[in-house]
A and B are shown apart, each in its own frame.
Chain A
Amino acid sequence: MKPAIEIHSICKKYSIRGSSPSYNTFRDSLSGLFRSHRNEGDFWALKNVSFNVLPGEVLGIIGENGAGKTTLLKILSRITPPTKGKIIARGKISSLLEVGTGFHPELTGRENIFLNGSILGLSRRAILERFGQIVAFAEIDGFLDTSLKHYSTGMWARLAFSVAAHLDAEILLIDEILSVGDIEFQEKSMRKMEDIAGQARTILFVSHNMAAIRQLCNRCAWIRQGVVTRIGTVDAVVEEYLANYRKSNGGSADFTDNTRGEGSRKVVLRRIETRKHGGEVSGSFGIGEDIEIHLFLEARTRVGKVKIILDLMEANGHRICQMYDSDSGFGLRDVHGERHISVLLKDVRFYPGEYTIGVWIGSEVFAYKYELYDRLESCISFTMINTLAGNRALRRHAGLLYLTPEWKEHDS
């Protein structure tokens, strides 16, 4: 079977000029005539990337922000040309670098389905055939002839995802589009994605969401600074990736010069620490100990309300729980400058092993609408150790929680 995509030593160079890489003025060019070229340096976004993707394969692509994942998708979809190398593709390629590309707020839902579908490469006939399915999936029945500007963000996102989910291309390039809409719709779109992945289509799927990568993909590539460092089974690559970025340097991780975060960065996480109850910074805790998670935030502009969510995950990326600040009645208000927050987890009883914490910082969720300020998945890890002297061996595969409930015998 011939590969659906053959990537042969693809390189992509961006020239970085001055402080603004993409904004030329005429004056720069004119002055460039008299001076030597003032390239501050060439930036190689991709260096000699080669791999094949077989038909029907769902390949996950992971890596830090700026590692070159999106650049690769842009080259594959011909949005930008490679500097060197070539790609042989077998099958029609559609790219979904975002959902709702070309949506126009003045046009109605119906009109936008046709416009967006056409932009994404569907023929008019194909859109007509799928029209009913698209509308049903998006759950916007009564609003078909309403201008998009009157849509709620949730409706907008549902419609956008729905058109994207009904593309007919043999090869799909997908960049982090699952995070649209409310939680319920996200689950629905995840199921739809699994559906699409099962249709013997070739999919390249870029995501920061390791759970989604595990769920959808049957192979995974890790791109690091423009190079494919690892390609192989999902479990192996994801685990190696997470291990590499876990900063288990004694219970403290610094992100002051961070390149990993996403979002608008109005509020950023500068540092995270795990401390023992007494205040001592530590990376390992005994079963039943308290863990204090200390967050050092910085708001770069004044922000009214900040919502913080902590993810607790196993080392392999499986999520254990999601802790919303609001669930505990906490809320950060009127944030400007630096803030220091601590989150106390009492009596933590995980089995021995490695666990990681992820941080999500965003605006208040209102009508499904929120702004992501910063997000760091698995930004710090801690180790649970078996400190219970004389206890039996607690093996990770045997369980997750070490509980010591009250046992009693009653009269029979």
Chain B
Amino acid sequence: MPANRELEGYEIKCPNWWTLDLGEVHRYRELFLFLAWRDIKVKYKHTVLGFAWAILQPLALMIMFSLVFRNRFSMDTEGIPYPVFTYSGLMFWGLFASGVNNAAASMIDNSNIIRKVYFPRILIPTSAMIVALFDFCMTSLIFLPLVFYFGIRIKIVSMLLYFPPAVMLTVTSALGLGLLFAASAVKYRDFRYIIPFSLQLLFFMTPVIYPVNGFESTTFKMLLGLNPLTGALNLVHGSLLGEAVDWQSVVSGSVSSAMTLLIGLFYFKKTEIYSADLL
């Protein structure tokens, strides 16, 4: 920390909630990394399978969905083998869902620290997102073998081009929703029940196990378009096909994820100063 700022004297008073002191967040970057490192370390320590757990979950779900859906319904996945289609969807859904879950639970999980030490509270839910990102990286390790196994000839360029924005979209919206839930959970413990329930609802509103074009209803398509994950998954599926992406959904997804992040951020900022009193 820059010593001169501190020695000049600074004020402690009831802060304005609308100011986000990015400089301060930057000064605490080491703590951010330590918190993220702790979460990853603790999650996989003393598990026999270790990091394999991250992969096992989407893999098992993919196999199950493939068995259930491939033969029952004719899913037009536009030429992508159904397992690959679902696995890619589950990867991104996993990033989103565990991101939201981790962030939402983080404030309560860390209440012992929050009540005893000061630091920008935003570090807690954002560092919790890192665990989700880490798991995502693990799951993507077997995505490439899967793609080759099913003989998809992907264009590396389009993958490199489309994956990062897809991840960005997912993380942004997960962080936005996670911040909103984290701040709400501090105030209302009801959110312990609301979060899993709403995530489950959202899962079926996301084209993870079915393609978007499988529906006639335009209202449903519109609703799907509002879901930031639809845009992200369209990017991913587009990169697999090497075809044009439905950019409309990407744009609307970007707008809605940015909105989510803004709302989450402001609500979180508004409540964070009192979090030590409420926890």
Residue ranges of A at the interface with B (Cβ–Cβ < 8 Å):
2, 14, 22-27, 29, 74-92, 95, 97-98, 101-102, 104, 106-107, 111, 114-115, 118-121, 123-124, 170
Q: How far is the CA of A118 from the CA of B34 in the complex (A)?
A: 7
Query: Which residues of A are found within 8 Å of B277, using beta-carbon distances?
Result: 14, 22, 80
Partner of A104, one of B31, B42, B278: B42
State the Cβ distance, B45 to closest chain A Cβ, in Å: 5
Query: Which residues of B are found within 8 Å of A95, using beta-carbon distances?
Result: 116-118
Instruction: Identify which of residues 1-51 in chain B touch chain A, using a CB-to-CB cut-off of 8 Å.
Output: 1, 3, 6-15, 30-31, 34, 38, 41-42, 45-46
Query: Which residues of A are found within 8 Å of B188, using beta-carbon distances?
Result: 24-26, 29
Q: How far is the CA of A215 from the CA of B250 in the complex (A)?
A: 67
Q: Which residue of A lies closest to B3 (CB)?
A: A92
State the Cβ distance, A41 to closest chain B Cβ, in Å: 16
A79 touches B41 (CB 8 A): no
Ordered by A's residue number, 30 sampled pairs between the chains whose C-beta atoms are within 8 Å are A14-B277, A24-B278, A25-B189, A74-B276, A75-B12, A77-B118, A78-B118, A79-B115, A80-B277, A81-B15, A82-B12, A83-B14, A84-B14, A86-B12, A86-B13, A87-B11, A88-B11, A89-B12, A90-B6, A90-B7, A92-B3, A92-B6, A106-B41, A106-B46, A114-B34, A118-B30, A118-B31, A119-B117, A119-B119, A124-B30
In the complex, whether B270 has a CB less than 8 A from a CB of chain A is no
State the Cβ distance, A200 to closest chain B Cβ, in Å: 14
Quick one: CB contact mask for B116-135 with A, threshold 8 Å, 1 for yes? 11110000000000000000
State the Cβ distance, B123 to closest chain A Cβ, in Å: 10
Residues A79 and B190 in contact in the complex (CB < 8 Å), given A95-B117, A111-B41, A119-B31: no
Chain A CB within 10 Å, residue with most, of B31, B119, B189, B278? B31
Partner of B113, one of A25, A89, A119: A119
Residues A79 and B117 in contact in the complex (CB < 8 Å), given A25-B188, A26-B190, A114-B34: yes
Q: Which residue of A lies closest to B10 (CB)?
A: A89
Q: How far is the CA of A97 from the CA of B113 in the complex (A)?
A: 10
Query: Which residues of B are found within 8 Å of A107, using beta-carbon distances?
Result: 38, 41-42, 45
Query: Which residues of B are found within 8 Å of A111, using beta-carbon distances?
Result: 38, 41
In the complex, whether B150 has a CB less than 8 A from a CB of chain A is no
Q: How far is the CA of A79 from the CA of B189 in the complex (A)?
A: 21
B278 touches A97 (CB 8 A): no
Partner of B6, one of A76, A120, A170: A170
Q: How far is the CA of A84 from the CA of B10 in the complex (A)?
A: 16
Q: Which residue of B lies closest to A125 (CB)?
A: B30
Partner of A89, one of B9, B14, B34, B38: B9
10 additional A-B residue pairs with CB within 8 Å, beyond A79-B115, A80-B277:
A77-B117, A82-B14, A84-B14, A86-B12, A89-B6, A89-B12, A90-B6, A90-B9, A101-B116, A124-B30
Report the interface size for chain B: residues with CB under 8 A from the other chain.
39
Q: How far is the CA of A77 from the CA of B274 in the complex (A)?
A: 14
Residues A86 and B6 in contact in the complex (CB < 8 Å), given A23-B189, A25-B190: no
Q: Which residue of B lies closest to A102 (CB)?
A: B113
Query: Which residues of A are found within 8 Å of B8, using beta-carbon distances?
Result: 90
Query: Which residues of A are found within 8 Å of B110, using beta-carbon distances?
Result: 102
B13 touches A102 (CB 8 A): no
State the Cβ distance, B40 to closest chain A Cβ, in Å: 11
B45 touches A92 (CB 8 A): no
For the complex of A and B, the 4 pairs showing the least CB-CB separation, nearest first, are A86-B13, A26-B190, A87-B12, A78-B118
Query: Which residues of A are found within 8 Å of B9, using beta-carbon distances?
Result: 2, 88-90
Instruction: Identify which of residues 175-200 in chain B touch chain A, using a CB-to-CB cut-off of 8 Å.
Output: 187-190
Query: Which residues of B are found within 8 Å of A89, using beta-carbon distances?
Result: 6, 9-12
State the Cβ distance, A75 to closest chain B Cβ, in Å: 7
Partner of B13, one of A26, A85, A91, A119: A85
Query: Which residues of B are found within 8 Å of A23, using beta-carbon distances?
Result: 189
Q: How far is the CA of A76 from the CA of B114 in the complex (A)?
A: 15
A79 touches B276 (CB 8 A): yes
Query: Which residues of A are found within 8 Å of B212, using beta-carbon distances?
Result: none
Q: How far is the CA of A88 from the CA of B38 in the complex (A)?
A: 34
Chain B CB within 10 Å, residue with most, of A25, A74, A102, A123? A102
In the complex, whether B279 has a CB less than 8 A from a CB of chain A is yes
Query: Which residues of A are found within 8 Å of B279, using beta-carbon distances?
Result: 22
Query: Which residues of A are found within 8 Å of B137, using beta-carbon distances?
Result: none
Q: How far is the CA of A76 from the CA of B12 in the complex (A)?
A: 7
Query: Which residues of A are found within 8 Å of B15, using beta-carbon distances?
Result: 81
In the complex, whether B273 has a CB less than 8 A from a CB of chain A is yes
Query: Which residues of A are found within 8 Å of B6, using beta-carbon distances?
Result: 89-92, 170
Query: Which residues of A are found within 8 Å of B213, using beta-carbon distances?
Result: none
State the Cβ distance, B267 to closest chain A Cβ, in Å: 14
B116 touches A98 (CB 8 A): yes
In the complex, whether B112 has a CB less than 8 A from a CB of chain A is yes
Q: Which residue of A lies closest to B13 (CB)?
A: A86
State the Cβ distance, B245 to closest chain A Cβ, in Å: 40
State the Cβ distance, A350 to closest chain B Cβ, in Å: 42
Q: How far is the CA of A26 from the CA of B13 in the complex (A)?
A: 29
State the Cβ distance, B197 to closest chain A Cβ, in Å: 13
Partner of A123, one of B10, B30, B273: B30
Q: How far is the CA of A88 from the CA of B14 in the complex (A)?
A: 13
Query: Which residues of A are found within 8 Å of B38, using beta-carbon distances?
Result: 104, 107, 111, 115
